Chain A
Amino acid sequence: MKRRTVVTVAAFAAAACLLPIAGAQAEDKLALYNWGDYINPEILTRFTKETGIKVTLDTYASNEEMLAKIQAGATGYDIVFPSVHMHDIMAKLGLLARTDANTLPGFANVDPAFLRAKSDPKGEWCVPYAWGTVGIVWNRKLVPEGIRSWKAFFDYAAKHPKKVAMLDDMRETLGVGLIVNGKSVNSRNPADIKLAQATVLAHKPNLAAFTYEVIPLVQSGDLAAAHYFVGAMMYVLEKPDQLGYAIPAEGATSYQEDICVLKSAPNKAAALKFIQFFLRPEVSVLNTIQQKNGSVNTKALALLPPAMRDNENINPPAAVRARLQIFEDLGPDLKLYDRAWTKVKTN
């Protein structure tokens, strides 16, 4: 999930000391802690209507922010939505509750290809939630031919300096450096990471910025193209003659979040009810339609409007999926990326 913005980071900084105080324990409550704008509110309304369980929703802007808050002892949350590598980290740190989710009715709707966490290959702890790609969004007036590869992206940047932007994200942007050099985005080889650093640095003079706040600038034509996640499809589908989005030919990163119950969850029974509710195709599809991202629920896919189901960016064919990589936890080797990113930012 890629929606980390400066805005939310600043809000986090302001709110960091206001940890939630555990609410009264009651059967009829459920506290979700999710990424900002990452669930269709309609789902929460329907869940409450059907079960009488009152749902509260708090949001975070990055995996690290959520982890830091849970580690700092925030209690009162039942369900979190970590990315796959964070699911593994939280499992390692003993922060998750075993749910035996794979015994729930409806679990068979989940495509087993999305049981990606190494710590949880059978879905005994968490359930896949949603997924998507990180690609390129462009302004069709400025780039009528489109930008469908990293090569085209950087060539355009060389011809039109300061008209393209990349994400202000250590692993995503160094990840592009790794992909164009044919390396894994999870490489722990210092030579690979140095190569990625050199690639990004070589293009940096032609970039306008490293930033997440690009959609309004691409819409207005201040930027011609930007490295951005599939959430851009919300805007592309609204104005298909204005914007385009593509998964680059060389490959791209994908992300996936899982629904996990915290070990410290005060309302475990309600949390399980919610997971079971979300496994229903007609519920899951509500989220996909609103979020314009990938579905992990095979039966929900069948319910999608054809325009979305057949959209290769939202629901990529197998050949495209084969080019996608997903981030893994790198443990202590994360520091190689931190150093490379500092070099990129300071040179």
Chain B
Amino acid sequence: MSVAAHARWRRRALLAPAGLLLAAAFVGPLLLVASFSVLEPGLYGGVEWHWYPYNFGRVLGAPLGDVEEFDAAYATTLARSVKLALLVTLVSVAVCYPAAWWVSRLPPRRRALALFVVTLPFFANLIVRVYAWMLILRPTGVLNLVLAALGAGDAATDLMYTEAAVVIGLVYVLLPFMFLPLYASIEKLDPALLAASRDLGATPAQTFVRVALPLTLPGIVGGAAIVFIPALGNFVVPSLLGGSKVMLAGNLIEQQFLAARNWPFGAALAMLLLAFVLVVMLAAAWRRGTRGAVA
């Protein structure tokens, strides 16, 4: 065996575990969901093995008479979820960028401590943490108690069961996913470049926009991707903090798989959401000319 062939085989052997895991835990189930989305719903869950494009028809507008009605509400729900997920992503960047910058400039020991603190929420269950937000946001909750204690009782708000509460909850849950990639790229930013920019007469704003921002863009894009996608599908936060009064994509899909016992329609909704995410990601990758960097 030549040296090159040997290296090739070694590479394959090393990639095999990850490849097999992805095939078994990701590609397989994904193909299952994709095939369910074009099958007829079984009466009590499950599927009938007939070609059945009307699951998509209900959303996109080619229904099957009375059996599968078109309803614009589905597309509206998906669009609302996209809008909310974008808002969550923007807020997360706005909150994390300055924080990541500050942490990256701390002395090493305190930096390690700060990073540990950022990952601390992962030590507690998601549901418990979202429940805690219920206790904070409810009218008699911690937030209003603190406001009253500060003598700002008039500012007391009822955020519980609002869209704002959903955004707060999602930002909170997803914050570490934005922070870590941002931190990684800000930390790599060479302070000498910023100094050079200033020496050459750039204002701080110019330095930020023309030097710091472009160099940390990979962190922003990476963080945005892993915040946007889970924000799009989360159904726990809208349910607990939004009081299910505003339906989001995750809740709609959950309803189809459980209460409505319509797996194919749930699968079709999931595929549409996935297709949308894929298009956005590919477009982003295309623009940056670095196809692999985003994934």
A65 to B139, CA, bound (A): 34
Flag A215-246 by CB within 8 Å of B: 1 or 0 each.
01100111000000000000000000000000
Indicate which residue in B44, B71, B235 contacts A93 across the interface (CB closer than 8 Å).
B44
Report the number of A-B residue pairs with Cβ-Cβ less than 8 Å: 107
Inter-chain contact B43/A209, CB cutoff 8 Å:
no
Indicate which residue in B45, B134, B235 contacts A64 across the interface (CB closer than 8 Å).
B45
Q: Which applies to chain B's interface (DSSP): helix, strand, loop or mixed?
A: loop
Inter-chain contact A342/B247, CB cutoff 8 Å:
yes
Instruction: Say if the beta carbon of A343 comes within 8 Å of chain B.
Output: yes
Q: Whole-angstrom distance from the CB of B37 to the nearest CB of chain A?
A: 17
The chain B residue sitting closest to A13, CB to CB, is B254
Inter-chain contact A334/B160, CB cutoff 8 Å:
no
Flag A240-278 by CB within 8 Å of B: 1 or 0 each.
000000000000000000000000000000000000000
Residues from chain A with a CB closer than 8 A to the CB of B235 are 6
A216 to B138, CA, bound (A): 11
The chain B residue sitting closest to A64, CB to CB, is B258
Number of interface residues, chain A, beta carbon within 8 A: 44
Inter-chain contact A343/B73, CB cutoff 8 Å:
yes
Residues from chain B with a CB closer than 8 A to the CB of A337 are 260
Inter-chain contact B77/A346, CB cutoff 8 Å:
yes
Indicate which residue in A171, A213, A332, A335 contacts B240 across the interface (CB closer than 8 Å).
A213
Inter-chain contact A221/B140, CB cutoff 8 Å:
yes
Indicate which residue in B138, B239, B242, B259 contacts A170 across the interface (CB closer than 8 Å).
B259
Flag B18-32 by CB within 8 Å of A: 1 or 0 each.
000000000000000
The chain B residue sitting closest to A222, CB to CB, is B138
Indicate which residue in A67, A331, A338, A345 contacts B244 across the interface (CB closer than 8 Å).
A345
Instruction: Say if the beta carbon of B57 comes within 8 Å of chain A.
Output: no
Instruction: Say if the beta carbon of B255 comes within 8 Å of chain A.
Output: yes
Instruction: Say if the beta carbon of A10 comes within 8 Å of chain B.
Output: yes
Q: Whole-angstrom distance from the CB of B204 to the nearest CB of chain A?
A: 45
Inter-chain contact A338/B73, CB cutoff 8 Å:
no
The chain B residue sitting closest to A8, CB to CB, is B127
Residues from chain B with a CB closer than 8 A to the CB of A334 are 260-261
Flag A60-73 by CB within 8 Å of B: 1 or 0 each.
00101101100100
Interface positions of B (Cβ within 8 A of A)? 43-46, 69, 71, 73-74, 76-77, 126-127, 131, 134, 138-141, 158, 160-161, 235-236, 239-240, 242-247, 251-252, 254-262
Chain A to chain B contacts (Cβ below 8 Å), 30 pairs = A9-B258, A62-B259, A65-B258, A68-B45, A71-B44, A168-B244, A169-B259, A170-B259, A204-B245, A207-B245, A210-B243, A210-B244, A210-B245, A211-B243, A211-B244, A213-B134, A220-B138, A220-B140, A222-B140, A222-B160, A334-B260, A335-B260, A335-B262, A337-B260, A338-B262, A339-B69, A345-B244, A345-B246, A345-B247, A345-B255
Interface positions of A (Cβ within 8 A of B)? 6-7, 9-10, 62, 64-65, 67-68, 71, 89, 92-93, 162, 165, 168-171, 204, 207-211, 213, 216-217, 220-222, 331-332, 334-335, 337-339, 341-343, 345-347
